[in-house]
Structure 1
Amino acid sequence: MKFKKTYKIIVGVIIFFTLPTLLFFCFLYIKYHEPLPYGSKGKKADDLATKMLVAVNYEAFVGTDVFEWTYKNRRHYKWEKTKNICEVYWKQYKVSLNLNDSRLHKAHVHSFKVDGDLAEKLIRKAVKYYENDSFWVFAPYRVFDEGVKRELVDNNDLLVTYKNGDSYLWILDDHGMPISFKMWTSQFPIDGIEVLWSHWKTTETGAKLPTLIKFFIFGTEITDIKGTG
């Protein structure tokens, strides 16, 4: 009898916490889920992508030697773009990523260099952080990266698909400045969710980077942005 009572309490607690989450997910799925749109490749798609690059000042991005930013007040980055080396800072850790040669990655704890399993663990984490966090800062500049496909949708929007199959539909203003994009990715269970890009900051070199990326009520702040030549 005591076991049954305990079992009912446990089941009740699980339902109490999971049912609202499940219902909320179902609501979001029904309301926002969209199939991946069809687009057309070619000059018009490339022209729209170029228009976006002009709006965010791609030339200034290319001419910037060093970018710095902080992601969600949790991780700080210093990317020496010309050397393609990025230092990743979080908590008491610092990892120097050589993006040209992974054999040259270095890990530190409290300014002391570490090796072995601990170094490998920190490096793996830093690589994951960098790949995720840098995308949210520099995605508009990556539309002509190797292997990226560009398609024009409804004559106004730009569908960008990466090598891993993730797709993003950029919605631009009349000048080509990004307003938002919709996502079809393996990382998110609802296709077509819209993410707003706003509060753009112009760096010292002239490149434009977002300081707020928001979907639903959730916002990601990008602070301490610097770009030096």
Structure 2
Amino acid sequence: MQLKKTIKIIAGVVVFFTLPTLLFIGYIYFKYNEDVPVGIQDEAADALADKMLDVLNFEAYKKTEYIEWTYQNKRRYEWDKANNLCTVRWKEYKVDLHLGFPERSKAYVHSFNIIGKQRDQLVNTAINYFNNDSFWLVAPYKVYDDGVKRSLVKRDGKDALLVTYTQGGTTPGDSYLWSFDASGKPVKFKMWTDLLPMDGLEASWSDWTTTTTGAQLPTFHKVLFFGFEINHIKTTR
């Protein structure tokens, strides 16, 4: 009898905690999940992308040779943009990434140089971190990267820009639907990416800062109920 009572109590606790969670996940899924919209690839899409780049001072970004930042106060980046190099730091690790030739990268644990399989694992981790965390910093400036498709989508009576990356990055094939304010500045996008459990999740792009080189970069994003910051941004030419 005592065993049955214990099992019932455990089962009740499990149901109490898991049922609301499952209901919440279901609500989120049916509220936000949607297929990638179909857009039109034409001059109007490029014009919308050009307007966004003008508002964000793309020319200043192109002339920016160095960007430093921290992502959620967990990872620190020192990106030598001019030479395609980046030092990535997290926990006790440091990786000097050679973005063009990853095999030339160096990895360290507590300042000790690491070689072999562990070095390769750390380099791959740093590359994935860089691809993700730099995207949250400079994604608007990447709409004309090689292999990018731009399409115009009508959303709530307004023009939105669907950007699809057919190559590069950690998960090629990802799509993002940008929405803008009246000036053409991005305020949010919806995401279709293999890294997320559902399609069409929305993320804000806000709290923009104008850097010392003139480029504009975001310092805050919100996805569902969760926000994360990008701090300690420094730029030089």
Class of the TM-score when normalised by the shorter of the 2 chains:
over 0.9
Q: Could you tell me which residue of structure 2 aligns to residue 158 of structure 1?
A: 161
Shift of 1:34: 2.6
Segments of 5+ residues of structure 1 without an aligned counterpart are none
1:211 maps onto 2:204 in alignment: no
Q: Could you tell me which residue of structure 2 aligns to residue 116 of structure 1?
A: 116
Separation of aligned partners in 1, 2:87 and 2:13? 44
| AA aligned opposite 2:206 | S
1:222 maps onto 2:230 in alignment: yes
Separation of aligned partners in 2, 1:87 and 1:153? 38
Do the aligned partners of 2:35 and 2:200 also contact (CA within 8 Å) in 1? yes
SS at match of 2:82: coil
Identity of aligned residues (%): 53
Q: Could you tell me which residue of structure 1 aligns to residue 198 of structure 2?
A: 190
Moved more, 55-64 or 115-124: 115-124
Q: Deviation above 6 Å: which 4+ runs of structure 1? A: none
Segments of 5+ residues of structure 2 without an aligned counterpart are 167-171
RMSD across aligned positions (CA)? 1.7
Matches within 5 A, 1:8-87: 8=8, 10-87=10-87
Shift of 1:173: 1.4
Shift of 1:192: 2.0
- Equivalenced residue count is 229
1:178 maps onto 2:190 in alignment: no
CA separation of 1:158 and 1:106: change in aligned 2, threshold 3 A: same
| AA aligned opposite 2:111 | S
CA separation of 1:11 and 1:165: change in aligned 2, threshold 3 A: farther
Shift of 1:120: 2.0
Q: TM-score normalised to the size of structure 2?
A: 0.90
| AA aligned opposite 2:162 | L
Shift of 1:174: 2.0
Q: TM-score normalised to the size of structure 1?
A: 0.93
